[in-house]
Structure 1
Amino acid sequence: MGLFRRGPKRDPREAPRDGEFSFFSEREGGVFRSQVRQAFAERGLEVTVYAGMVADSGGRQFGLGNLAAVCHRDRRGERVWPAMIRDHVGKVLRTMDGPQPMETLSEDEIRARLFPRVVAEETLPPAESFRYGRAPAPGLREVLALDLPEAVQMLSADSLSDLGEVAELRIRALNNLRALPVEGHETVRRGDGSSFEVVLGDSFFTASRVLVLDDLVERIMGTPLTGDGALVAMPFRHQLAFHPIHDAQVVPALQAMAQFAAAGHEDAAGAISPNVFWWRRGAMTRLSEPDGDGLRVVVDLEFQDMLERLVQDEA
């Protein structure tokens, strides 16, 4: 999974846009939904297709947002959509119709597959089922999830009730997260001398490694973070960017990471946040946010004081 790659052939941006998924043209959206309907029909399931989901006769609903983004971003274009959609629908139905892992796995097996996952809070159901999770930053929520062979299942409070206390389960999940291999690591260097690191991989928990950032940074860089912490960005579930703060290069790094995060978040499957955060001892403060068609960097007094100190140290 590379950071920068040539995009797939798409309809021009001036073509009329799809009402639900603006990265699609109207034509592309129609093709996509038609193929989704066909994939369910091939599985013997008649569905009603809505703009952002499909529903079967039993009332089950299947969201289309992530699948649409995956199709949109695939560099091979529309020719591979049918196979991708059939594969996705097959996995979803096998997961929903098959034995439920919380009923078939032993407690030890469940704990071995347990991971914390950082998600955009807006993607969670409005019910209280996931309110047990802490909010690592505004707009984000940390929930517990099972890593299954064909799916990742986020666990509601009811699902966890028979396993033990959430705090104890979170400790086990964090230990599992620390033990994951680093699938990929790249350094992004800019012409102004600034740089930042990107961890990337197929794991759905790649971006969630921000929860164990101190361990991850020392593992990759060979040195621990200082008390000033790091800049971090989690555009989508398969990428985590960070810049350990050592000197005044944090200023151009912040600008570069803000652009990187916003671009990576747009149209991404498993999108998390377009923002950059200041990470210190596990706490995160937002430093950037979208502003119309551009970006706006917003720093608080504490971050400003740190910048002034770093600049003075180099004087």
Structure 2
Amino acid sequence: MRIFHRSPERDQQSAGRDAEYSFFSVDEGAQFRAHVRAAFAERGLEVTVHSGTVSDNTGRQFGLRNLAAICHQEPRGRKRWPHLIRGHVGRLLRVVDGPSPLEFLEPDQLLALLRPWVVARDFIEPNADRYVHARVVAPGLCEVLALDLRESVMTLPDTSLAPLGDIVELRARALDNLRELPMESHTILHGPQQMHFDVVTGDSFFTSSRVLATNELARDLTGRPLGPDGALVAMPNRHQLALRPIDSERDTTLMPTLYGMTVFAAANYEDAVGPVSPDVYWWRDGTLTRLVRQEGVEPEFKDDIEFEMLQMRLADNDADQR
């Protein structure tokens, strides 16, 4: 987990960067794609390797972004890449070539695996007409219903959801299932000016989607429900969720914490497996308001009158109690 420092490059910084994945050097990118081609060939499938995808002769395409991030983050370096890539390709082909869970699981079994999945809007944009049920949860983010298959996630288009029941009831069931997921790794990060926030990390594809149950998660982490002013949250990738409950009476570290979470979100988004969002949000009563947008070189702190009023109120409370 990173907050103030990025992982070192595997090649020297001066090496030319790969056009598709800047965390790779040109040489690393070429070696990575060669291993990918070899792994598919070992499975009897000849593929054409493009910069960010591979395609077979039937027209199927498989993205490489998450696999590239896994290899980049491997602490033992390139010697482990063939093993990682073979395992990933094997799991991928088992999923796409095997029978669909919709074909062999009973409706009750499918409902037990149903989860709401928070993803970047771009994830479903090419097929948005198939996911009319998708719900916008924040700028750039949406919630889509999916099956938790442990090794993978299967998003469910509207045609697959229809036989299972009413969409409102399905969403409620999915959210209940999300709340029942076991607690994963939890740590509290501290930094300058007494900033601090909680981070939940796990192998689940739905760790960051716990933001949909922020109040319950806060209670599990701190033993207390959230106050009326909610919490700051960040979901840099699908395996991490940062959360900072706001003390409505006296919170003197709110702004340092917002800056710290901004650094954390950027550092854990750029080359992450399953990136979700580099931004920081304010959660209140189930609504997410974006406070920090990270799209350029420097983060953009969005003007929000209600958040500004919160800061003034907290400052007044602190002055009164001194």
State the TM-score, normalized to the length of structure 1.
0.96
**1:124 Cα deviation from its structure 2 partner:** 2.1
Equivalent-residue separation in structure 1 for 2:252 and 2:302 (angstroms) = 17
Equivalent-residue separation in structure 1 for 2:96 and 2:295 (angstroms) = 40
Equivalent-residue separation in structure 2 for 1:165 and 1:183 (angstroms) = 31
The answer on whether the counterparts of 1:8 and 1:76 sit within 8 Å (CA) in structure 2 is no
Structure 2 residue 157 is matched with structure 1 residue 156: yes
**What do the CA deviations read for 1:175-227 (whole angstroms, capped 9, x no partner)?**
11101111111001123112111011111100000000000101110111111
The answer on whether the counterparts of 2:9 and 2:23 sit within 8 Å (CA) in structure 1 is no
Structure 2 residue 297 is matched with structure 1 residue 297: no
**1:14 Cα deviation from its structure 2 partner:** 2.1
**1:149 Cα deviation from its structure 2 partner:** 4.0
Structure 2 residue 252 is matched with structure 1 residue 248: yes
Equivalent-residue separation in structure 1 for 2:314 and 2:72 (angstroms) = 42
**1:254 Cα deviation from its structure 2 partner:** 0.4
Letter in 2 for 1:314: D
State the match for 2:59 in structure 1: 59
State the match for 2:104 in structure 1: 104
Letter in 1 for 2:123: T
**1:291 Cα deviation from its structure 2 partner:** 5.5
State the match for 2:114 in structure 1: 114
Equivalent-residue separation in structure 2 for 1:213 and 1:43 (angstroms) = 42
State the match for 1:190 in structure 2: 191
Aligned pairs for 1:142-291 within 5 A: 142-246=143-247, 247-290=251-294
Unaligned runs of 5+ in 2: none
State the match for 1:36 in structure 2: 36
Equivalent-residue separation in structure 2 for 1:131 and 1:29 (angstroms) = 37
**1:141 Cα deviation from its structure 2 partner:** 1.0
The answer on whether the counterparts of 1:18 and 1:24 sit within 8 Å (CA) in structure 2 is yes
Aligned length, in residue pairs: 314
Equivalent-residue separation in structure 1 for 2:279 and 2:87 (angstroms) = 32
**1:16 Cα deviation from its structure 2 partner:** 1.1
Equivalent-residue separation in structure 1 for 2:32 and 2:132 (angstroms) = 33
Q: Residue 150 of structure 1: SS of its match in structure 2?
A: coil
Unaligned runs of 5+ in 1: none
Stretch of structure 1 that moved more, 246-255 or 202-211: 246-255
The answer on whether the counterparts of 1:9 and 1:75 sit within 8 Å (CA) in structure 2 is no
Equivalent-residue separation in structure 2 for 1:191 and 1:66 (angstroms) = 32
Equivalent-residue separation in structure 1 for 2:158 and 2:19 (angstroms) = 34
Equivalent-residue separation in structure 1 for 2:131 and 2:14 (angstroms) = 40
Letter in 2 for 1:70: I
The answer on whether the counterparts of 1:186 and 1:198 sit within 8 Å (CA) in structure 2 is yes
State the match for 2:140 in structure 1: 139
Structure 2 residue 95 is matched with structure 1 residue 95: yes
Equivalent-residue separation in structure 2 for 1:198 and 1:163 (angstroms) = 34
Closer, same or farther in 2 for the Cα pair 1:41/1:125, shift >3 Å? farther
Q: Residue 116 of structure 1: SS of its match in structure 2?
A: strand
Equivalent-residue separation in structure 1 for 2:168 and 2:246 (angstroms) = 30
The answer on whether the counterparts of 2:237 and 2:272 sit within 8 Å (CA) in structure 1 is yes
The answer on whether the counterparts of 1:200 and 1:239 sit within 8 Å (CA) in structure 2 is yes
Letter in 2 for 1:237: R
**1:125 Cα deviation from its structure 2 partner:** 4.4
Across the aligned residues of Structure 1 and Structure 2, the Cα RMSD in angstroms comes to 1.5
State the match for 1:74 in structure 2: 74
